[in-house]
Amino acid sequence: MLFRSVDLREKAGKRKGDSSDDCGLVFCRDPKTESLAEFLDTDGLPFPGKLLQEGDPMYCFYSREEGKFITGKFKSKEAAYVDHVKLVSNDTATSHKNKAVISFRVPRNPSVGDKFASRAGQKGIASQKWPTEDLPWTSSGLFPDIVFNPHGFPSRMTIAMMIESMAGKSGAIHGKVHDATPFTFSEDPDNQAIDFFAKQLESAGYNYYGTETLYSGVSGVEMKAEIFFGIIHYQRLRHMVSDKFQVRSMGPIDCVTRQPVKGRKKGGGVRFGEMERDSLLSHGSTFLLQDRLFHGSDKSKCSICRTCGSFLSPRIEANLTLLQRDSAKPVCVLCGSSDAVDDFEVPFIFLHLVKELISINIKVKLGNSSR
């Protein structure tokens, strides 16, 4: 569920401490723009249940000062349904309907990496999506929706999840509703919960312990191990891969350092820090290290004088034509010669450091210079 808040006081430039309620803006649909009627009601807010794509009108309001209608667009790249629209007042309920909260429902199919959890707190991510024909099946033709690893039970001790499986199975068979109050069991005072549900399963012809014989969906052969099979309520959590994945090949760079920016929203990269550098050094992956920290970052060319070791002294004469500048070789202004000036590839942030140090009278020289 996504939420979008439209505050007319904020758009009018009103401050939080301003007690005046009328901001000069009113939610209203532009009557001259007929295409808005498909998306917005007469109050300038979207219809509940309407599917909105990127660029579709999301709200409209009228400005009395400017004398015109202003339309806001739906900016998300993922299509969404308008779930409901609420007009929000202030604390004293005297607002002139200045704020609206629009909630959206985004339809998404489960994918590998999405997070799920049972009511017993057994959270986990979907690691694989199997075709139905490859799943194991019972003698009655049932397929499991979720295959759970039993190693998640001993250390977490979620016994209630096993009881829920047996209770759900017995309730579905006999058409009964069981009391699921935590830490209490009042269905049968003479028996424990496990025994009570186990006897119900046994009376219906199932195994006392809730296990069933399954057959391989690939080979059709009966599986040797009996599988604990039942009904458990599962819920989907809000942590999804489609909200968190981050990928970048080329994109925006920082104007000062010329290195890739950070942040998923900006289209930036994942930071390769000092600890990641140390791990590559320990593996001896020097070419990979150079690719990440140099070629894939702020690689730049500069001219260096090998005689005096200066990074900043080699320059191209200013009084040359454009054609002459393309073929001209930089001349070191300190040595007065271009013979020892060579082109090198260095990180741009290093050149930036050299310029910063020069500004406080610290000169950086190349290590193998003759002076």
Contact (Cβ atoms closer than 8 angstroms) between residue 24 and residue 12? yes
- In tens, the pLDDT along 179-190 reads 888 788 888 877
Instruction: Give the H/E segment covering residue 101.
Output: strand 99-105
Query: What value does the mean pLDDT take over residues 159-175?
Result: 93
CA distances to 109, 111, 136, 213, 219 from 222, rounded to whole Å, are 32, 29, 9, 7, 9
pLDDT band at 146 (very low <50, low <70, confident <90, very high): very high
Strand order in the sheet with 123-125: 123-125, 115-118, 234-236
**pLDDT value at 208 more than 60:** yes
In angstroms, how far is the first alpha carbon of the chain from the final one? 67
Taking the domains of the chain in order of start, what are their residue ranges? Answer: 2-105, 115-236, 246-295, 299-358
Residues 6+ apart with CB under 8 A from 49: 81, 82
Please name the CATH architecture into which domain 2-105 falls: Beta Barrel (2.40)
CA distances to 181, 233, 250, 353 from 256, rounded to whole Å, are 61, 53, 17, 11
User: CATH number for the 115-236 domain, one of 2.40.270.10, 3.65.10.10, 1.10.3210.10, 1.10.238.10?
Assistant: 2.40.270.10
- In tens, the pLDDT along 292-341 reads 999 989 999 988 888 888 888 888 777 777 777 777 788 888 887 888 88
Please name the CATH architecture into which domain 246-295 falls: Alpha-Beta Complex (3.90)
Q: Is the pTM of this model over 0.75?
A: no
Please provide the average confidence, as pLDDT, over all residues in the chain.
88
Q: CA-CA distance, 154 to 243, in Å (whole number)?
A: 32
The distance from CA 350 to its chain's CA centroid, rounded to whole angstroms, is 33
Same fold, 2-105 and 115-236: no
- In tens, the pLDDT along 226-250 reads 999 999 999 999 999 988 888 888 8
**pLDDT value at 13 more than 70:** yes
Contact (Cβ atoms closer than 8 angstroms) between residue 326 and residue 366? no
